[in-house]
Chain A
Amino acid sequence: MKVLVPVKRVIDYNVKVRVKSDGTGVETANVKMSMNPFDEIGIEAALRLKEAGSAEEVIAVSIGVAQCQETIRTALAMGADRGVLVETEEGAEPLAVAKILKAIIEKEGPEIVILGKQAIDDDSNQTGQMLSALLGWSQATFASNIELGDGTADITREVDGGLETIKVKLPVVVTTDLRLNEPRYASLPNIMKAKKKPIDKMSPADLGVDMTPRLKTLSVVEPSKREGGVKVESVEELVEKLRNEAKVI
Chain B
Amino acid sequence: MGHTIAVIVIVGGGTAGWLTAGYLAAEHRERVAQGDLRIVLCESPNIPTVGVGEGTWPTMRSTLARLGISETQFMVRCNATFKQGSKFSGWRHNNSSEHCYYHPFAFAPGAEDGSLASYCALTNQWQGFSTLFGAQQSVCEAQLAPKNITHAEFDGALNYGYHLDVTAFGVLLSEHCQSVLGVEHIVADVQEVLQDECGAITALRLPDNQELKGDLFVDCTGFKSLLLGDALRVPFRSEAHYLFNDTALTTHVNYPAPDSEIDSCTHARATCHGWIWDIGLPHRRGVGHVFSSGYADVEQVATTLANHLGTDEAGLDFRKISFAPGRRDRIWQANCVAIGLSAGFVEPLEASALVMIELSAMALAEGLPRHTSQLPIIAKRFNAAFLYRWDRVIDFLKLHYALSERDDSQYWRDHRKTTSLPESLQELLTLWRYQAPRSSDFPMAREVFQSLSYQYVLSGLGYKPDLGREPTPDLIERAQHAIAHNQQVTNQLIHQLPGNRELINKIHRYGLSTI
Task: Specify whether A and B are partners.
Answer: no
Residues of B within 8 A of A (CB): none
A interface residues (Cβ-Cβ under 8 A, vs B): none
